[in-house]
Amino acid sequence: RVFLGQDKLTGDLVAVKELKRKNIDSVEGLKELIDKELKICKLLSQSLKDGESHIGKKYICKIYDVIDTEPFHYIVMEYLANGSLENPLEERETFPPEVAKKYIKQLSYALDYIHSTLNICHRDIQLANLCLDAHGNIKLVDFGLSDFFTKEATTHNSFCGNYASPEMILATKYIGYEGDCYGMGLLLYKLLSGFFPFRSSVDKIVEQYYIPLDELEREGTLNESSISLIKGLLEKDPCKRLTTKDVINHEWLQ
């Protein structure tokens, strides 16, 4: 659970995520997930404070501290009062293209930082995990399903339903960052259209892989450039899929 706290020294509000490790050994994989989340958050807490100037650090929720006690562990984070992108999208059918561009570019910077600098894949890219700061910029949150990756392809346990990539659904080997890029493609499609391109997970893995773009193009929701970006991110083969650097340099975001 996550609750609101306050820094006694500064008076600033903070978000505090509580993790309980007691009696979890009986739940397969849960202890490993919690241990990995704590390890990743400790690394992020340190790396976001160091002097390296990567623009992606601006778009990741600040982690102030990771407190280890028994049986509870606490992750103290930046409090983002404006909530996630999931709420405003429920109130409106779509986001204007310029707003969607802003969010996708900021997300691509955040993912590029954790991919290229820390070898971390988020693995849970969705509207609920993109919060807004006081200036209307996104902040990537919730590293509960995150994992480390190497150059060698492997399998990663668990995935997040609607945003899962084909390789996640099929439980085939992949490096890790590719799934984040696929999730970004699904998110972009949803920002612009208001719905997901696929009716079910089966549609993502069938041989006749089809991304429904024609109607949106006719309606003027998408143009040639945005279609190119969506197709590149939703490429079924993870080896051919666009990377975060490809997204950052894509013509639609210039």
pLDDT digits (tens, 9 = 90+) for 34-89: 889 999 999 999 999 887 789 999 999 999 999 988 888 999 999 999 999 987 66
Helix 177-193 to helix 97-116 angle, to the nearest 10 degrees?
Answer: 170
Which residue, chain included where needed, has tokens 């309606």? 219
Characterize the bridge pairing of strands 2-6 and 120-121: unpaired
The domain at 2-78 falls in which architecture? 2-Layer Sandwich (3.30)
Closest to 183 (Cα-Cα) out of 153, 160, 217, 211: 160
What is the domain partition of the chain in residue ranges? 2-78, 86-253
> Has residue 159 got a pLDDT over 70?
no
Q: Where are the beta strands (DSSP E) in 39-188?
A: 63-68, 72-78, 120-121, 130-132, 138-140, 147-148
**In whole angstroms, what is the distance from residue 186 CA to residue 209 CA?**
15
Contacts of 235 by beta carbon, 8 Å cutoff, 6+ apart: 241, 242
Catalytic residue of the set 7, 35, 112, 124: 124
**In whole angstroms, what is the distance from residue 239 CA to residue 28 CA?**
30
> Has residue 239 got a pLDDT over 80?
yes
Token duo for residue 178: 């590719």
Is 124 in the active site?
yes
pTM of the model: 0.89
Q: What is the largest CA-CA distance in the chain?
A: 59
**In whole angstroms, what is the distance from residue 248 CA to residue 228 CA?**
14
CATH superfamily for 86-253 is: Transferase(Phosphotransferase) domain 1 (1.10.510.10)
Per-residue confidence (pLDDT) for residue 149, from 0 to 100: 87
The predicted-structure confidence for 100-134, as pLDDT tens digits, reads as follows 999 999 999 999 999 999 999 999 999 999 999 99
